[in-house]
Amino acid sequence: MKNVLAVFSHGKESGPLGSKIRALMRVAERQGAQTLSVNYREHPDGTAIDHDASGEADRRVAQLLATSLPAHDRLVLVGSSMGGYVATVASEHLKPDALFLLAPAFYLLGYACQDPVPYATSTLVVHSWGDDVVPPDNSIGFARQHRCALHLLDGDHRLDAALPAIEPLFGLFLEDILAADSAPPASAR
């Protein structure tokens, strides 16, 4: 069995142990994956970070890239909202096996990368029809351009009501990553 590491990046308003992340971490851990949720809310010394500051999304990209990751054979980046943007932009350097993106904050003003590219073998996007923070059309366009799997569910930006549908999607997604034993390990790239 391959050593899978799932790294979670939370959204602008949430934290590293929000309800979605905790639920998806449990799914990953049940399948034997290691999990790590990056805390973008505070500096290592414990002082708070202004999540409304200009350039915050790209500061988070740099933080993810500077995060020391445990040893792994397969890398899965999971991002919600701003964290979806962070995971996708960071994927250029981290070259994960997979990206699992929840209502990713693509094509928004103030984000340096206006054409994010998923540098992963497999990418799955989940968005809700009723999202009034990041329009679902943004994910539709991204998925169309990059030929990614896309699931549009009922709900709002937080996707809390859709979590019972998201958990099995993530579980199946991880099963596919675990089955991909013919690909070279991420840590060897």
Q: How confident is the model at residue 132 (pLDDT cuts 50, 70, 90)?
A: very high
Q: Is the pLDDT of residue 184 over 70?
A: no
Vertex 79 angle, CA 74 and 83, to 5° = 130
Q: Which CATH class is domain 4-179?
A: alpha beta
> Would you list the domain boundaries of the chain?
4-179
Please compute the mean of the pLDDT values over residues 43-53 and round it to a whole number: 81
Backbone angles phi, psi at 182, to 5 degrees: -80, -15
pLDDT at 93 over 50: yes
Binned at pLDDT 50, 70 and 90, residue 186 comes out as: low
Q: What pLDDT band is residue 44 in, cutting at 50, 70 and 90? A: confident
pLDDT confidence band for 50 (50 / 70 / 90) = confident
pTM for the full model? 0.93
